[in-house]
Structure 1
Amino acid sequence: MDVALLALIVLWLALITYTVLGGADFGAGVLGIFTGRNAERQHEFINHALGPVWEANHVWLIFLVVGLFTLFPKGFAILCVALFFPLLLALLGIVLRGAAFIFRYYAPDTSSLFANVWWKVFNIASALTPFFLGASAAAVASGHLLDPSGKPNAANVSPWLSPFAIIIGLMGIALCTALAAVYLTVEAKDAQDAFLCESYRKKALIAGAVTAVLGLLGLLLSPIYAPGLWRGMLGHGIPLVIVSMLLGLLTAALLWLKQYRLSRLAVIVATAFLLSAWGFSQYPYLVPPALTVSAAANEPNVIKVVLISVLIGLIILLPSLYYLYSIFKLPYPAPGRVTQPEGHRKSDGA
């Protein structure tokens, strides 16, 4: 196999991993906007779910940035210049979200004005990042990222502010929200909290439906705003698109039947196929229509060394992450933090 293609596959797997893990963290923040009844209970539940893992999930984003810089330096340079403003706004969302989570989580009084302001910042920042990352992805896929001279220009904002990019940005928010809601149904089920479980089940179904509608709108707009992506999808990406749609329907059916663990697996696989459909439809371009994967790649010897280093790093990293997820994500509710809402008894194992 071409080492450049192998390097791209590795980065794409990291992108999928960041989406299904870090994306769910952003979605949890968006869900905080739609709490309704028992808002404080739901805030505490989201805090408990995110507490041990939200920082660790960003390791995949760091891996993506460093990997793109090392493996595809030409592509990295073009993307960082052309997408300077949306990526800056996405980074701002990450920073504000992290700061807001900490300030709110450790506030002496979680019902105070101080805590509520930071909770709002957390919610807004959680939507900001997936929107601009989605809009950036749409700008790349559009084939209009570079100006007529073929050079990146940060002042060229039309690719990431087009109707197509806005729809994909909103779809990014909806997808992250759906992921978070599905995950939280499993955690609420494990906590034997029927109220929260049903609440997140309904939100997962709604967010999934919104994701599907926005995805359909994106497909309808792609022949106009991303013709290269449309042709690539019809040429060799359509099977993955169909599979991702079917998996989305399967996720909804499993949620309807209250098969929460199976629905979690289904939504993860559906997201993987959705992102893979984008990659297959855009291939062989890294930045269409000017820069192919092979033209953007570093020297083959450099790529081989990096891939070997990645393999060694994963051998160290994956057991550590497994330990983090399995040991530190204790059952909810945490002792002494919250009480069950009225009408629900605290389980013996909590």
Structure 2
Amino acid sequence: MEMYLPLIWAALIGVSVAMYIILDGFDLGIGVLFPFTKSETERDQMMRTIAPFWDGNETWLILGGVGLFVAFPRAYAAIMPALYIPVIVMLVALVFRGVAFEFRTVSRSKRGWSFSFALGSTIATFAQGVILGGLVQGIEVSNREFSGGPFDWATPFSFLCGVSLVAGYALLGTTWLHMKTDGEVAARAQRQAKYWLITVLFFMAAVSVYTPIAEPRIAARWFSLPNFYFLWPVPTITALVAFACWHWIERDREVPPFLASIALFMLGYIGLVISNYPYLVPPSLTIWDTAASASSQVFMLIGTLFLLPMVLGYIIFVYWLFRGKVREGESYH
């Protein structure tokens, strides 16, 4: 049982990260798309589509961070000092964005708060991508402790991941708006979705080419035999999903492009997991190297398994309650 507890916790944290990417991704994408709109009226309509959800979506970020601290304290102790600066930037930007969201709702002059919301959303998204890039490229560890410098994360690859995530969240945002709005906002989102899809595919290809070249361990995972025979469906399915997404956008379908955008994210996420498993702190510390004691994991697992269905039930209820389109001039208030 002790051998499987770290796997259970790794799966829970993985699900939390995936849920955060999906749910908070599209509402961060709304902020990224703010500069591409023409009026505050359109931005009002965009924000109303995420008003009932945006703060609850960040629950998954908390669950992932707390789960890492509780279940894998050695990983937490290595990752946090290595990525301290982008993590702090991300958290400050999320707070800044939340303040802008609330003050924009009640302010008479919305332009400044709209700029703040867009800036906070974009910086938080970019920082998340930098964190991901810094983790994938590896963290220097000696005696199971971080031994690198405070700016090891600042590489071209981590910045590439940051820009890639901005484009990815923008794609989620456009497909969400096309599904949840009507009128000019929906029409513009449909047009923009195609450009963001092309941008996302370009960055996915760039990251996919860069990682095996820069990291021999990743190249060995994907291109050695017999691994190659089992893993080739991942990029193939990604290409098919991208084609389907483009086709559905062209055909003015509303729900399928959003689902296809989520599928693209999940396929990229699966690719990263394949590249790095079983390392939680690449390239040296595995899931088992960083796990807490079995008693600590069991104690927290009991509480998590009790609360997780409640969180999922609440999220499902809220999304069902506020289903349907947000039309121009409408509000949930």
Q: Same fold (TM over 0.5)?
A: yes
Measure how far apart 1:62 and its partner are. 0.5
Tell whether the 8 Å contact from 1:84 to 1:154 is kept in structure 2 after alignment: no
Rounded to whole Å, the distance in 1 between the matches of 2:262 and 2:137 is: 26
- Output aligned runs, 1:278-317, within 5 Å: 278-317=272-311
Query: Is 1:131 matched up with 2:133?
Result: no
Aligned amino acid, residue 90 of structure 1? M
Measure how far apart 1:322 and its partner are. 1.9
Rounded to whole Å, the distance in 1 between the matches of 2:183 and 2:217 is: 47
Change (3 A) 1:135 1:282: same
Measure how far apart 1:240 and its partner are. 2.6
Change (3 A) 1:301 1:105: same
Measure how far apart 1:141 and its partner are. 0.9
Rounded to whole Å, the distance in 2 between the matches of 1:124 and 1:153 is: 33
Aligned match of 2:18: 16
Measure how far apart 1:242 and its partner are. 3.4
Aligned residues: 325
Rounded to whole Å, the distance in 2 between the matches of 1:23 and 1:90 is: 14
Rounded to whole Å, the distance in 1 between the matches of 2:294 and 2:239 is: 37
Rounded to whole Å, the distance in 2 between the matches of 1:100 and 1:231 is: 46
Deviations along 1:48-95, whole A, 9 cap, x unmatched?
A: 012111100010001001111111111011111110001111111101
Aligned match of 2:267: 273
Aligned match of 1:121: 116
Aligned amino acid, residue 227 of structure 1? P
Rounded to whole Å, the distance in 1 between the matches of 2:234 and 2:295 is: 32
Unaligned runs of 5+ in 2: none
- Output aligned runs, 1:1-350, within 5 Å: 2-36=4-38, 39-107=39-107, 109=108, 112=109, 115-143=110-138, 145-146=139-140, 151-152=145-146, 155-158=149-152, 160-188=153-181, 193-235=182-224, 236=227, 238-328=232-322, 331-333=325-327
Tell whether the 8 Å contact from 1:184 to 1:200 is kept in structure 2 after alignment: yes
Rounded to whole Å, the distance in 2 between the matches of 1:136 and 1:238 is: 27
Change (3 A) 1:135 1:146: same
Aligned match of 1:343: none
Rounded to whole Å, the distance in 2 between the matches of 1:153 and 1:133 is: 22
> TM-score under structure 1 normalisation?
0.86
Rounded to whole Å, the distance in 2 between the matches of 1:137 and 1:248 is: 22
Tell whether the 8 Å contact from 2:170 to 2:196 is kept in structure 1 after alignment: yes
Aligned amino acid, residue 68 of structure 1? L
Higher mean C-alpha deviation, range 239-248 or range 66-75 = 239-248
Rounded to whole Å, the distance in 1 between the matches of 2:144 and 2:71 is: 22
Tell whether the 8 Å contact from 1:97 to 1:122 is kept in structure 2 after alignment: yes
CA RMSD of superposed structures (Å): 2.3
Measure how far apart 1:244 and its partner are. 2.8
Tell whether the 8 Å contact from 1:141 to 1:282 is kept in structure 2 after alignment: yes
Rounded to whole Å, the distance in 1 between the matches of 2:21 and 2:160 is: 18
Measure how far apart 1:250 and its partner are. 1.8
SS at match of 1:296: coil
Deviations along 1:83-128, whole A, 9 cap, x unmatched?
A: 0001111111101100111111111x2xx2xx21121111011111
Change (3 A) 1:303 1:326: same
Measure how far apart 1:336 and its partner are. 6.5
Rounded to whole Å, the distance in 2 between the matches of 1:261 and 1:336 is: 21
Deviations along 1:226-260, whole A, 9 cap, x unmatched?
A: 33334334355553343233322221221112222
Measure how far apart 1:290 and its partner are. 1.5
> TM-score under structure 2 normalisation?
0.90
Unaligned runs of 5+ in 1: 339-350
SS at match of 2:280: strand
Change (3 A) 1:149 1:271: same
Change (3 A) 1:182 1:336: closer
Tell whether the 8 Å contact from 2:30 to 2:47 is kept in structure 1 after alignment: no
Rounded to whole Å, the distance in 2 between the matches of 1:241 and 1:77 is: 34
Rounded to whole Å, the distance in 2 between the matches of 1:126 and 1:71 is: 29
Higher mean C-alpha deviation, range 176-185 or range 244-253 = 244-253
Higher mean C-alpha deviation, range 306-315 or range 82-91 = 306-315
